[in-house]
Structure 1
Amino acid sequence: MDPLLVLFLSLGAVLTVLIVAAAGVLVVRFALRDAKSQDRAGILTAAAEVVRAFRGRR
């Protein structure tokens, strides 16, 4: 396999992971911005469940 192709594929994979992570952080940040303090635990728990589902633990 061409080394340049491997480089582009790995950079694409890393960039994809960074974009998905940034999107997740922004979604949680916007959800927490106007939330009351008693609702924040539920929002964070839901975000953790989504992460677990993506990682295949649920």
Structure 2
Amino acid sequence: MDVTAWALVPVAALLIVATMTVLIVGMAMKGTTSRDRATVLRAVADVLRAVHGRRR
């Protein structure tokens, strides 16, 4: 692999993960009432922290 591929693969992976995160949050928010949205967003943030490796 050349240098360009080494630079583009992580960027593409990050873009794919970010897109999937937005789609998952959108699907989760569509089926909730306004009072449950904070709980859904908190759960998504906890999952993202766990994937990233940080805990509260």
Q: TM-score band, normalised by the shorter chain? A: 0.7 to 0.9
* Alpha-carbon displacement from aligned partner over 1:14-34 (angstroms, at most 9, x marks no partner): 000000110011000011012
Alignment gaps of 5+ in structure 1: none
Give the structure 2 partner of residue 12 of structure 1: 9
One-letter code of the match for 2:42?
A: T
Corresponding residue for residue 32 of structure 1: 29
One-letter identity of the residue aligned with 1:28: V
> Cα RMSD between the aligned structures?
1.2
What stretches of structure 1 move > 3 A for 4+ residues in a row? none
Question: Could you tell me the TM-score, scaled by structure 1's length?
Answer: 0.84
| Distance in 2 of aligned mates of 1:53 and 1:42 | 17
TM-score, normalised with respect to structure 2: 0.87
Q: What is the CA–CA distance in structure 2 between the aligned matches of 1:50 and 1:9, rounded to whole Å?
A: 28
Percent pairwise identity:
44
